[in-house]
Amino acid sequence: MSVLRYFLPNVYLSMALFTAAPIAQAEDFPTRPVKIIVQTAPGSSLDVMARLVVEPLAQIWGQQPVIINQAGAGGLIAARATAAAAPDGHTLFLAGGSVFVVLPVVQNNLPFDVDEFVPIGFIADQPYMLLASNKLGVNSTAELIALAKRQPGGLDSVAGTRGGLQHLTVEWFRNRSGANLNMIHYPGPAQAMNDFITGRVPVMMQTVAPVAGIVAAGEAKLLGVASTARLPNYPDTPLVSDTVPSFTSSGWSILVAPKGTPQAIAQKINADLRTALGRPDVIKKFEELGNYTRPMTPQELAEFVRNERDTWRPVVKQIGMGAP
């Protein structure tokens, strides 16, 4: 008899067991508390989102996830810690868009490849708003652009830290609209907000949460939102893209896992995450903080990140931040 008669069945059995192992691991996942690494300090926007996500996930998993804050270097420290973790789904990275959009462009020698992180799921958008100081006397995006074009020397705009998404958003708006805006950078938000409210720097693009209070109090004029659709808690506010076609900009946060994490486990976490973020009470809490959940499969998330990088790479390079 041929040796193959005895050998092949064992090969097929081994292959079947090899394929079934990750599926079985996914069904049992998690077997211990999941660590969620956050790239910012406690109390930050990303940290708050992580804590909102942890609560429903703990109920689904029967295990309380542990949040680990590893702030610094624009997300580099947290990303490096994630890349070095065991690829078993028990270490995840709740990351902001800068890790995937800015870091790969400005640094040639990253100790990891951001494209090798395993996509898990989308957490939330933080759309940018276009605001004008009340002292400026404009009531629409079109009026602001027209004023900025005819004003000698242009208009000053809050641009946050150099190379951050706020800065990139203002740069892109300036490029797309032709508005003559001067970038005024601030090391922190407090002084920037004070200068904006007093009219010293009359233009600002900022995500919803930091400006919701001054908008509600009538301390600034909300001209438009840079989202793809009107926001549920700002239904009467027009889109910036109504005036500047195709202009959208949002901060965003996603969940990824280390390279090598089995797809079966990634799919399991994705399904659980979508269940958690789909709860009406969770959606409400997110929206109250200016964050808008959006379900995505891992495959859709990977495509989303690629598109975002393609959008922002030329803007990063234009402001002179691209690696040589």
- Per-residue pLDDT of 10-55, as tens digits, reads 555 555 455 445 555 688 899 999 999 999 999 988 999 999 999 9
Neighbouring CB atoms inside 10 A of 64's CB total 13
Report yes or no: 150 and 172 within 8 Å, Cβ to Cβ. Answer: no
User: 79-88, 97-106, 208-217 — which is least confidently predicted?
Assistant: 97-106
Asked if 10-126+251-318 and 127-242 have one fold, the answer is yes
Q: Which residue has the tokens 């803007």?
A: 315
CA atoms of 270 and 10, how far apart (whole Å) = 34
pLDDT band at 199 (very low <50, low <70, confident <90, very high): very high
Determine the pLDDT at residue 3: 47
- Cα separation, 81 vs 322, in Å, equals 24
Give the model's pLDDT for residue 164.
Answer: 84
If you average pLDDT over every residue of the chain, what do you get? 91
Q: Which helix (H) or strand (E) holds 181?
A: strand 181-185
- Structure-token pair, residue 324: 């040589």
User: How do residues 57-81 score in pLDDT, each as one tens digit?
Assistant: 999 999 999 999 999 988 999 999 9
Higher model confidence: residue 199 or residue 5?
199
The residue extents of the domains of the chain are: 10-126+251-318, 127-242
For the entire predicted model, the pTM comes to 0.86
pLDDT single digits (tens) 239-276: 999 999 999 999 999 999 999 999 999 999 999 999 99
Helix (H) or strand (E) holding 68: strand 66-69
C-alpha 99/C-alpha 60 separation (Å) is: 28
Class (C level, CATH) for 10-126+251-318: alpha beta
Altogether, the residues listed in the chain come to a count of 324
**Parallel/antiparallel/unpaired status of strands 203-207 and 91-96:** unpaired
pLDDT of 1 higher than 60: no
| pLDDT higher at 215 or 98 | 215
User: What's the rounded mean pLDDT across residues 136-146?
Assistant: 97
Per-residue pLDDT for 163 more than 80?
yes
**CATH number for domain 127-242, candidates 1.10.3720.10, 3.40.50.2300, 3.40.190.10, 3.40.47.10:** 3.40.190.10
pLDDT interval class at 4 (50, 70, 90)? very low
pLDDT digit string, tens, across residues 101-125: 888 888 878 989 999 999 999 999 9
